[in-house]
């Protein structure tokens, strides 16, 4: 498979996209994106498990339930989550789908909608309606990167990547997210398009499987969003039927790259942390431990300080709920073994501190309890995270 770092959702055939500003963000930055398939596409999606859900989440689940074989487009606004906005929020969401459908001459139920930003504030519908028109007018086969720009909130850079299979079909995706990231079955927003031909039901199975190994393994702050969604559109424009296993490998590559980019761009982050848990009783136990370590404020602040404070890693594992005997635990921190069979290894603190100054740090924890394995990705917790989130709305 070939990777294209500079390509986005319009890399596969038959997709156009645009990203424009319509006044939701006070800064005037782009805040409305549209991605359109020239022909009806198979679609699949996974959505937030948060009980408090944005209007777009319910809309999309309904649309995929009835129209998973003929989705035409997704319209995404940033700067406003349209969550906890009551019945008016649902009407606004439907209006976005209706106006987009009118311009594309299809049914509103063929349109997916995404929103991200502040919770509890009504959408400024006059601007949004204008935004739908402008982005429709701006649709272009080279608009993928503009779309990736227009879905950003506290992100410092747009996130996109694409791949091409040896047979020639393509997958291109974009994602956004830098805070309120602790996905549970999805991430904040990721849209991935492909021109491979693939049945919607198979696509849904693959999408859920890939989400569990990519977006669901990242955490920035332990807070699951009300608006998480990961959507895949397959329009078959390449004319090629994709082998499901091969397609999953390619989709995994795109999704993993985007998930990593989200962690790399985590609010205030200075380090990317890769947590590998091995030797657990089960994969589920391993995931529990990896997830607990990845959300520990004490682990994350220690990493910001490049402090090989492995005691905090062990303490987090111990409170995770997974079963293991501390006497059998081994741990390495940035490649330096600090604990072996439950006993402390006499390691060079200064060298470890140097090693942890790296942009990317790997923690490998072996629980000595079985063959379970899992991986989680997180960021460190810095002064800037606090700064960004103490004044997000002001």
Which residues are marked as active site? 187
Contact indicator for 375, 287 with CB cutoff of 8 Å: no
**Per CB under 8 A, 301 contacts its own copies:** yes
Considering only residues 114 through 153, tell me which ones interact with its own copies, judged by CB under 8 A: 118-121
Contact indicator for 235, 15 with CB cutoff of 8 Å: yes
Distance CA 67, CA 190 (A): 20
State which residue, 164 or 380, has the beta carbon closest to its own copies. 380
State which residue, 168 or 305, has the beta carbon closest to its own copies. 305
Considering only residues 200 through 239, tell me which ones interact with its own copies, judged by CB under 8 A: 221-226
Considering only residues 98 through 117, tell me which ones interact with its own copies, judged by CB under 8 A: none
Of 49-57, 167-175, 246-254, 355-363: span binding its own copies (CB under 8 A): 49-57
**Per CB under 8 A, 330 contacts its own copies:** no
**Per CB under 8 A, 199 contacts its own copies:** no
Q: Which residues contact 342 (CB under 8 A, 6 or more apart)?
A: 325, 326, 327, 328, 329
Question: 304 pairs with which residues across the strands?
Answer: none
Helix intervals (H) in 139-231: 144-150, 200-213
State which residue, 169 or 324, has the beta carbon closest to its own copies. 324
The percent helix, strand, coil of the chain (3-state, each to 5) is 35, 25, 35
State which residue, 68 or 185, has the beta carbon closest to its own copies. 185
Distance CA 236, CA 202 (A): 14
Kindly tell me which residue out of 156, 319, 337, 348 binds its own copies, with binding defined by CB under 8 A: 319
**Per CB under 8 A, 184 contacts its own copies:** yes
The one-character DSSP state at 241 is: B
Distance CA 272, CA 68 (A): 36
Residues that bind its own copies (CB under 8 A): 49-53, 81, 83-86, 118-121, 179-180, 182, 184, 221-226, 295-298, 301-302, 304-305, 307, 309-312, 314-319, 322-324, 326-327, 339, 342-344, 353, 381-383, 385-394
């Amino acid at each position: 498979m070939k990777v294209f770092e500079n390509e986005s959702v319009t890399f596969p055939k038959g997709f156009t996209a645009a990203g424009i500003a319509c006044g939701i963000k006070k800064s005037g930055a782009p805040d409305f994106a549209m991605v359109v398939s020239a022909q009806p596409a198979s679609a699949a999606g996974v959505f937030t498990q948060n009980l408090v859900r944005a209007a777009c989440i319910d809309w999309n689940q309904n649309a995929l339930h009835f129209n998973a074989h003929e989705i035409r487009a997704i319209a995404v606004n940033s700067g406003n989550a349209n969550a906890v906005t009551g019945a008016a929020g649902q009407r606004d969401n439907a209006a976005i789908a209706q106006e987009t459908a009118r311009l594309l001459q299809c049914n509103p139920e063929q349109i997916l909608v995404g929103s991200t930003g502040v919770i509890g504030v009504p959408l400024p519908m006059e601007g949004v309606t204008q935004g739908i028109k402008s982005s429709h007018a701006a649709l272009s086969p080279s608009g993928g990167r503009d779309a990736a720009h227009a879905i950003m909130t506290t992100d410092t850079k747009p996130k996109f990547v694409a791949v091409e299979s040896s047979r020639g079909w393509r997958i291109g995706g974009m994602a956004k997210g830098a805070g309120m990231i602790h996905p549970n079955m999805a991430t904040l927003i990721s849209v991935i398009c492909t021109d491979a031909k693939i049945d919607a039901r198979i696509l849904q199975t693959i999408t859920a499987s890939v989400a569990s190994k990519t977006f669901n393994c990242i955490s920035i702050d332990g807070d699951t969003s009300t608006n998480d969604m990961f959507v895949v559109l397959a329009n078959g424009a390449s004319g090629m039927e994709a082998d499901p296993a091969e397609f999953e490998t390619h989709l995994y590559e795109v999704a993993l790259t985007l998930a990593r980019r989200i962690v790399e761009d985590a609010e205030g982050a200075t380090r990317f942390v890769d947590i590998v848990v091995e030797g657990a009783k089960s994969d589920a136990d391993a995931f529990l431990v990896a997830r607990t370590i990845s959300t520990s404020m004490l682990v994350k602040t220690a990493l910001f300080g490049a402090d090989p404070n492995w005691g905090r890693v062990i303490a987090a594992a111990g409170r995770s709920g997974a079963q293991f005997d501390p006497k059998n635990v081994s741990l390495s921190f940035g490649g330096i073994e600090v604990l072996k069979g439950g006993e402390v290894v006499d390691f060079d603190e200064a060298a470890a501190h140097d090693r942890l100054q790296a942009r990317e740090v790997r923690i490998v924890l072996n629980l000595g309890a079985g063959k379970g394995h899992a991986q989680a990705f997180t960021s460190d917790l810095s002064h800037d995270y606090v700064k960004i989130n103490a004044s997000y709305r002001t």
